[in-house]
Each structure stands twice: as structure tokens, then as C-alpha cells.
Structure 1
């Protein structure tokens, strides 16, 4: 699929002080061929069923997992499903796919491109890290009989390039900080580019709230929200105790997204017992347990909480190279408007623009046509229409 509209990720000349993924490339991935998608602060993918909305987010999530150290088998348990439609195997019966991204930041726009062989064996056959057309790292499969690729990265000086084998099931860019000493200007350029990509991709939080898992009381924990938001009640408890500002914003949002008057968000937590989430209806009415809320209300509350919070409240493992304040939280939400009515979707878009406008949160999501139509009228939201 190709995008009908690909908005600019940021105005020309505006520097990205925090590493942020500003372009996703699906050169050959599922239904996508030679596709390039600019990613702004709020980017929504729209299009008919089968147009590749979910695949675009899936590829972004895959790059993030590889940057965090996951293996190809962990990221692509069914690699054949990613092979481009009608792809013809070569003489060695090999087929695969290609994905990549650009991360803007202090090191400039850094490109990462990855070629993956899916058949007959899953392995990375080519990786390239480059800045302004200069290749800083490249890998290639030289010997199909070995489970490694030959890597070459910029050294500078008399040596020029360093060559060494790297595993063929892991992202070489993520391994460079362990292999490059940073003793020369060339090595330091390689490290800066690699760390910029890793920081941005490890700051990704895939979120898919599952209402059927959010209704039951939960065991008290550290209060870090899971990707399916099953422990929403425990995170509401932590938010109310530790951050009055976020709690107030979330309460205001709940008054728009939940039926009936909402005085506040609370929990019932017997000592040592499970935590039950509640909507406080005020002194004259009994509280409403989360179990009694509709699917749209639960998804609304969970997504609002994600947009209003930060990495410290989410079950994710951002890069340790930079403080959280120097990183951008990138939220991925496939089916962002699922189960939501128009009012709930509009309020979440308002929250997204508010949160992402500060530069510390970015949202990339897929939506249905009704939400996309409304989003096209919202300043600060980019809509990418996928067309067969």
C-alpha cells in the first residue's frame, strides 16, 4: 500500500533535541512496497481493511523490540506472514522482507535499514546505519553456512573501517556500544548515531487496552501499566497517591469519556488484598466499579492515562543512556478508536495533541474512517490515508 498523504514530520530547520523516530520505511513488507511514512507528533494511519494499517505499526514495534535486544525469532514468530505479497523466491529459494526508519536527534537524521531473510531460515542478511548518505555501519551475509554476518563500521584515521562478525539474529546497531571503544572521531560518530537510534526505539510503548482483562481486581504491584492495561486499577492507585496534576487531568478527561457524573477516580484496596478500580460519583451516589464500565469507557480511561503519564509509570525498559526527561515516549496504538464513540475519540485526540505538543510524547496509531475524518480537522494531527 502507498500513502495518499505523507505530512512532514517537523518543520524544516527545527532541530530534534530528543531522539525521535520521524520516518518509517516499509520497502518490502506484507502489502507494502517502497512505502515511506513521515511520523509527526500525532500520526494516524487510516484506510480500508487490508490496506496495511496494522502492518505499519507492527513493523515499528518490531524495530523497537530489536533495538531492545530481542532476537529475530522473538520478534517474528511467523516470519512468512511478513513476506511481501507475490514475492518470488530466488535461485536459492530465499524470500524475505525489508524495513527501516529514520531517527532525528543531536546526531542528525540517522537512517537504519534492515533486510531480513524469512525463508528458508530466519536471519538478518543486511543492515545499514547511515547519516547524510555516509554509511557508518553495514552488514552482509557472506557465508550462508555460518550464523553470522560480516560487519564493517567506520573507524577513521589510518584504519578507516573495522570488520568483525556479528550474530545474524540480532540488530547490529544495538550491539555497537559493546563493540566500539569510541577512541577515534569516527568511532564516536558511529556510537552517537547508534545510541540515538537505540534510545528512540527503546522508548516505544505498544498499547492495546483489553477491557475483558481490566475489569477484575488486581494484586497490588509497583503500579507500572502493562501493554494490555490489565492492571489499570493498580496504576490508578499509584497516580492518585503520587501525582496530583496527572490525577486531576485524568479526572477531567473521565468526565467527558465516561457516562454520568465523575467526581474522581479511586480504588478499593483492603490491606493485603486486591485493588478494585472505582469511579467516584460524589457523596450522594455509590461509586461505580471498573467491572461495570463499558468497553469504550475502559479503553478511553487506559489510553488517556497513557497519554498523560510517562515512562516511569509504564511497563517498559527505556535506554539508560539518557535521563527520561531527555527521551521521547512513543506510544503505538493499533485500533486507537476501537469501541469508542465520537465524543470519546475526540477527547482522546485533544489529549494527544496536548501531550504531544510538549515534545515528550508522540503517538502513532491506526484508526477507522470516522475518527480519521474528525482528525483531519484537528490542528497538530497528521493522517496518512493508505490506498491500494
Structure 2
């Protein structure tokens, strides 16, 4: 079976600890088309390569870890678990097959390594999990001891009079995400484990997966809670809520629209229609009478709509995005990661360059990171920017 965990090894610490927890490495040890893959992550990381090289599956692995850290069961994180098993992976004597993924999270608690083995067949369940600190110390380990029980046997480091605590955990949840509910935090060892688990959970949960759908962005929308959805179909509603929140941010969005859309853009406005819905428009020319120089977003091309939506995501505060962040942790201690499959899909070279430049500038400020999958235009634009790591999976 493919789901045995690799041996723990120390994680080399960087020169300085990040203030906010961030993923510095994604590992796809045995996942779909990936075997033994280790991907260091920068403020902007762009996966490129031929069709079928594994760009989308890299983002899917990241998003699955994020869902598990938020408390989702395995079936929600891996709806097609059998499809995650590497090709030609052989079943063991019990007919079991699985896959392995993991990550490294750096932050105030130091570099932490999370490795997860999942059994996909004959039934979906956790086969093993390990959380390791920068010195190679195992803080949490779980193993599937009895296939007849719906639990895994877990043990976590506590130090003190009882160096290790053992207890069963559900076999369809990430054990690291459950530790804050199980560890009292009374001893130094327990507090170390809690700090490690919380750092991993905060870094993983702060993810917004984004895939703008232009055909759903053209029509006026009803006013709702003002949180941008994955497909960005409610972009006009979000602008209705946020256009007056921060003039500097809105000015940056206008500048991005002017750089990436055909014709001059003097502003991005929202119109309230008679039926109570709203639509977004680009204000083109101050020399025209009111409204005559405007272009409704419904008239824009697909590339322009995707460009505008992704620019808004990069420039919008996390409270505006539909993200399940750790509410008990101050925003100043969290970094949002945007996952964008097809980051440059439908964009021309100029738009890909402008959007990549915007991503590099925004992500250099430290509050947001980007992991995207791109084609040739996006890869070329990424190689021209500092702070952008281009991972060519065809190499």
C-alpha cells in the first residue's frame, strides 16, 4: 500500500522566524501523478508545465490539507479518493491502496513538518499522520492499528511525568486539527504541542481557492453578505460593500483595471438597479455625460472579467473573501493564501504580465500569498519578477 509514512527527519530552520505562520513547502510523496515531489513555496508560486503534468493536482493537494485543517472529514477533502492514488500503485495483501501528502509550516513555533497517509481503498480513512518539529521530535503520531475500528491510535508528546499521551482519534479527521481540543496545555511539553498544532492549523485554514467564472459574472446580482465567492459571480455585490471602505485599495483596483482592460478606465463603480440588484461598471471617460462613458462588466470579454476578479481578490481584505479563517487569531497574525488554478487562463500576455506584477507587489507586503497554475504566458511573466517562484513540472 502507498500510504506508509516516511521516516521523520529534522527540518532545517531558516535564518529568521516568520511572524505569521506560512507554508514553506508542499510535499506530494505519492499523490496522483506525483511521486516524491517536494515543492518549496515562495510568496508567489506558479506551477507550469504541459497538460497532465500535475499543475492542478498540486493545488488540489494544498486545498485538501486546508479543508482537513478546518475540520472537514476526509470525504470532503478527497471526494474522488481513488483518483488520488498514483497510477500503477499496487494493493497490499489486504487489498489496500492509498496516497501520501504533507507540508512544512514555518512560524513563531519554528518549522513544523506534517505528513499524512490516507487509505483510499477499500474504504477511505486515515492510515497514519505525523507532526514533527524542527529538531526531528515527533509531537503527534497516529496509526491505523485495528481495521475493524473507526479510529486510529494516536500518541502525542507531553513531557513531564508522563512523556507520551495515548488515545484514539477519529479515522476520518486530521489529528493535528483535533489536538487543541485534547491537550490541556498545563505543562511545557503540552504547550509546545499546542503551539505547533495551532501554527499548522492557522497556516492551512487561511486559504481562498479562486476560479472566476466569467459567464456567471455578467448579470446583475442581489445584495447579500458581501463575501466574495469562489467563482466571483457576486463581484458586483462585493464592490457595492467595499467601494467606500478603503480609497487607497479602490484606487489600486482602478489602476489595475486601466492596465489590463481595453480602453481607458477612470473608475470602477456600482449601479443600483430598479429591481434591487446591483451591477458593476467601468467608468471610461470623465468627458462624457454621467453614465455615457461607462461599460457594464457584462460587456467585457472573458479574459477581462477573469483579470478583474483576480485583481480584486489580491487587493481585497480577508474579511471580504469567503474564507474559514481562525476567528480566535488576530488578522495581523494570519497570512491568506490564494489558490488560483488557471491564474492566467484567458489572459493575453499584457494581462498576464500586469496581473503577475500586481501579485508580486501585493504578496511582498506579507499579508497574502499566491499559489497558482499557469500556462506559458503566466510562466514567462513570473520569471521576470522578484519574489515569484516558477515551478516547471515538465522539466
TM-score by length of 2: 0.94
5+ residue gaps, structure 1, are: 1-9
CA distance in 2, matches of 1:139, 1:12: 28
CA distance in 2, matches of 1:181, 1:156: 13
Q: CA deviation at 1:370?
A: 2.5
Kept after mapping to 2: 8 A contact 1:310/1:329: no
| SS state at 1:62 partner | helix
CA distance in 2, matches of 1:280, 1:301: 14
Matched, 1:248 2:251: yes
- Residue matched to 1:43: 45
CA distance in 2, matches of 1:14, 1:179: 31
Q: CA deviation at 1:193?
A: 0.3
Matched, 1:122 2:134: no
Q: CA deviation at 1:272?
A: 6.5
CA distance in 2, matches of 1:35, 1:71: 25
CA change 1:123–1:271 in 2 (3 A) is same
- Residue matched to 1:57: 59
Q: 2:24 aligns with which of 22, 25, 38?
A: 22
- Residue matched to 1:13: 15
After alignment, is 277-286 or 353-362 more displaced? 277-286
Kept after mapping to 2: 8 A contact 1:207/1:332: yes
CA distance in 2, matches of 1:379, 1:242: 30
Kept after mapping to 2: 8 A contact 1:42/1:382: yes
- Residue matched to 2:171: 168
Q: CA deviation at 1:95?
A: 0.2
Q: 2:310 aligns with which of 303, 314, 326?
A: 303
CA distance in 2, matches of 1:370, 1:344: 9
- Residue matched to 1:350: 357
CA distance in 1, matches of 2:323, 2:115: 24
5+ residue gaps, structure 2, are: 1-11
- Residue matched to 1:68: 70
Structure 1's consecutive aligned runs of 4 or more residues displaced over 2 angstroms after TM superposition are none
Aligned residues, how many? 379
CA distance in 2, matches of 1:74, 1:58: 12
Matched, 1:323 2:325: no
| SS state at 1:182 partner | coil
Q: 2:297 aligns with which of 290, 293, 297?
A: 290
- Residue matched to 1:92: 94
CA distance in 1, matches of 2:169, 2:13: 38
Matched, 1:382 2:385: no
CA distance in 1, matches of 2:189, 2:347: 51
For the aligned residue pairs, the C-alpha RMSD in angstroms reads 1.4
- Residue matched to 1:144: 147
Kept after mapping to 2: 8 A contact 1:239/1:246: no
> Once the two structures are superposed, what CA deviation does each residue of 1:253-291 show, in whole Å capped at 9, x if it has no partner?
000111111111111113661111111123413311111
Q: 1:78 aligns with which of 77, 80, 86?
A: 80
Matched, 1:273 2:280: no
- Residue matched to 1:6: none
CA distance in 1, matches of 2:254, 2:36: 44
| SS state at 1:156 partner | coil
